[in-house]
Amino acid sequence: MEIRRPSPHVLELIDSGSLLLWIGTFGIGFGLLAAVFAIWQSRVAAGLIGALLGAGGAVCFASARRVTHLFDTKRGTLTIAAKPVFGAERPMVVEQHKLRDLAAIELESKDSSDADGSSSRVYRVCYVFADGRRRPWTRVWTSSYSSHAEPRNAAADFLARTGFLTGGAIP
């Protein structure tokens, strides 16, 4: 996630949507390889796997969004703008919240287990509002702690310095 400070009272966090694009690329690529193998070896199972991987990759491409979180302390607003990476005709979705309604920015974690039984911890960042509502930054949980902690800490520190949030960075 790119962190920008265009002015002393504004912080921008920009997620390019590249994670879903990478996942989609691998899904489509492996799907094509499985399809070629299926045709070459006349294997129905490989063809089905290829079709599923390709469809999953296409879904990732279709749902990839460029999301900008704009914290403006002069106006007291948080604006979240999500624009699909592909499909210019699809509309941008914009949410606006008052910074005074923001109670915390939390780094959520949970255990995730693989098919082979191994487990790992996955993370995502979530806004917590004073009324108890929670709004995740993304639907995707990833195992990279630093890729979530760095923008979360930048936002929490920025808002704490400007008096809008009492909790600073995670130790």
What pLDDT, in 10s, does the model give residues 51-70? 777 777 777 667 777 889 99
Say whether pLDDT at 14 is over 80: yes
Q: Are residues 7 and 36 in the same domain?
A: no
Give the phi and the psi of residue 6 in degrees, each rounded to 5.
-70, -20
- The tokens 């693989």 sit on which residue? 114
Asked if residue 88 is part of any domain, the answer here is no
| 60-64, 76-80, 113-117, 137-141: range with lowest mean pLDDT | 60-64
Q: Are residues 108 and 157 in the same domain?
A: yes
Which bin fits 86, alpha (ψ -120 to 50), beta or left (φ > 0)?
beta
Q: How many CA atoms lie within 13 A of 170 on its CB side?
A: 14
CA–CA separation, 103 and 8 (whole Å):
22
Asked if residue 84 is part of any domain, the answer here is no
The total domain count for the chain is 2
Q: Are residues 122 and 155 in the same domain?
A: yes
CA–CA separation, 100 and 15 (whole Å):
24
Q: Identify which of 114, 75, 123, 119 has the alpha carbon closest to the alpha carbon of residue 96.
A: 75
Q: Are residues 8 and 50 in the same domain?
A: no
Asked if residue 140 is part of any domain, the answer here is yes
- Three-state secondary structure string covering 93-132: EEEEEEHHHEEEEEEEEEEEECCCCCEEEEEEEEEEECCC
Note the pLDDT of residue 20. 64
Asked if residue 107 is part of any domain, the answer here is yes
SS3 20: helix
pLDDT in tens, 79-92: 999 888 776 677 77
Q: Which domain holds residue 42?
A: 22-62
What single-letter DSSP state applies at residue 136? Answer: E
Residues in a beta bridge with 65:
84
